[in-house]
Amino acid sequence: MVPDAIHGHILYEALYAVGVFIASYITGRVVSKVVFPLIRKLTAKSRTNIDDLLLHAFSTPIILFITVQGTFSALQGLSALDQAEDELNKAWLATSVAIAFWLLSRLLQAAITWYGQEVASKTETKWDDQALPIIKRIVSITTLTIGVLFVLQSIGISISPLLAALGIGGLAVALALQPTLSNFISGTYVLSDGSLRPGDYIEVSGGPVGTVQEVGWRITKLLTPQNNIVVIPNAKLADSVITNYNQPLPAINVPTECGVSYESDLARVEQTALEVMLAIRDRMPEADKSFEPRVIFSSFGDSNITFNCVMRATDRPGSFRMKSALIRDLHKRFTAEGIEINYPVRKLMFPQNGTPAPAPRLFTEPPPPPEPGGDDEPKGTYRGRPIKGKVGTYGNRADEDDDGGD
């Protein structure tokens, strides 16, 4: 407020207003050039940089706030603006609210930046590194939008119709972006759950098999064994049953089914198979050296005694190479040892003279009926049916009828 001694004197009021403005400006400069550098020296000694980021976020809004407060104090001291006191108060309130929300936005962005530098950079996934810029932008837009609404409310503008319009517009945007938002939320859930990480070898139920290359904010990329990239939307991935071959451990058992004839010595078969598996374990880097191979006889088959050779690979891709090597080496060793692996046999039966027997007829056709009046037809029948009355020629029956008439 202007001292009463100079109230009403335009020149003195103007000089007073200029002095207040200059004082506020100098105060802001002192805070900027002296106070904040001293605080930065103190925060530089801390182990984290969160305080440095917060101090940087505070610096510009605080200096601007000091300058704005001095400006409005200078203007309120002018008697010529007494009639506009309400408008000045509204302008001061609106400006203060705007600076406050700007400061809040900068603080939130500083916190997100700290998370990206200190936390996200140390994680194995790149998803948070990709999502942080988007999250930072969303937070900034949301904070500033709310700040605009508060500024409008502070200057006397009703924001109820605007909120209704924003609600309808937000609903329309949400419906339009539903697939994108669904994929974004699903990707966040998959990564936060920890059940899926880049580098994991997975199998999607009814879908592809491969190594997770990247989990983005909308899609997940798989590298298949055929060296192709399969792109899966995160929403579909979250709704699918997934087998993760890297959890809880990447090591995986490799059972290989085989069979030998009933005449084979099973003890010899077991010993031979173990020797083959031990040789594969020692020479292949994909094999788990700590696992002891085993032979498990499982069933009496139609033509073989079935058994399983069980080894352990360090990961799922290595299991395919180990199984291929085991089948090749086991067949070679069984052949050298004279151990027979039977296979189904079909026998064709022929008569002694070498001529195939005629195929049996499933249906036999009945013989054709005899011709009427034929030699094969029994007497007193017509087409196999008995005839009532006298049997004779048509003429004879006519003669008998004539005689009977007499």
Three-state secondary structure of 256-317: EEEEECCCCCHHHHHHHHHHHHHHHHHHCCCECCCCCCEEEEEEECCCCEEEEEEEEECCHH
What distances in angstroms separate CA 1 from CA 14, 16, 52, 113, 291, one per listed residue?
A: 13, 10, 37, 42, 87
First to last CA, the chain: 162
Residue 83 structure tokens: 């009639």
Task: Report, at the CATH architecture level, how domain 252-337 is classified.
Answer: 2-Layer Sandwich (3.30)
Residue 116 structure tokens: 């990206």
102 neighbors 75 (Cβ within 8 angstroms): no
> What is the C-alpha to C-alpha distance for residues 276 and 100, in angstroms, rounded to an integer?
75
Q: Tell me, what's the pLDDT at 198?
A: 81
State phi, psi for 359 to the nearest 5 degrees. Answer: -70, 135
Same fold, 194-244 and 252-337: no
Where do the domains of the chain lie?
Answer: 10-176, 194-244, 252-337
* Cis preceding-peptide flag for 248 (omega within 30 of 0): yes
Question: Residues with Cβ < 8 Å from 173, sequence gap 6 or more?
Answer: none
What distances in angstroms separate CA 261 from CA 118, 164, 222, 294, 335, one per listed residue?
A: 64, 81, 43, 20, 13
294 neighbors 243 (Cβ within 8 angstroms): no
The pTM of the whole model exceeds 0.85: no
> Per CATH, which fold does 194-244 belong to?
SH3 type barrels. (2.30.30)
Residue 183 half-sphere exposure toward CB, CA atoms < 13 A = 15
Strands (E), 37-171: none
Q: Report which residue type is found at 367.
A: P
Q: Tell me, what's the pLDDT at 278?
A: 92
245 neighbors 315 (Cβ within 8 angstroms): yes
pLDDT in tens, the chain (406 residues): 555 555 555 666 677 677 777 887 788 778 777 777 787 777 777 777 777 778 778 888 888 888 888 777 777 666 666 666 677 778 888 888 888 888 888 888 888 888 777 776 666 656 666 667 777 778 888 888 888 888 888 877 777 776 676 676 666 666 665 666 666 666 666 666 667 778 888 888 888 888 888 877 677 888 888 888 888 887 788 778 888 887 788 888 889 999 898 888 899 999 999 999 999 998 898 888 888 999 999 989 888 899 999 999 988 888 889 999 999 999 999 999 888 888 776 666 666 665 655 555 555 556 666 555 555 555 555 555 555 555 444 444 444 444 444 4
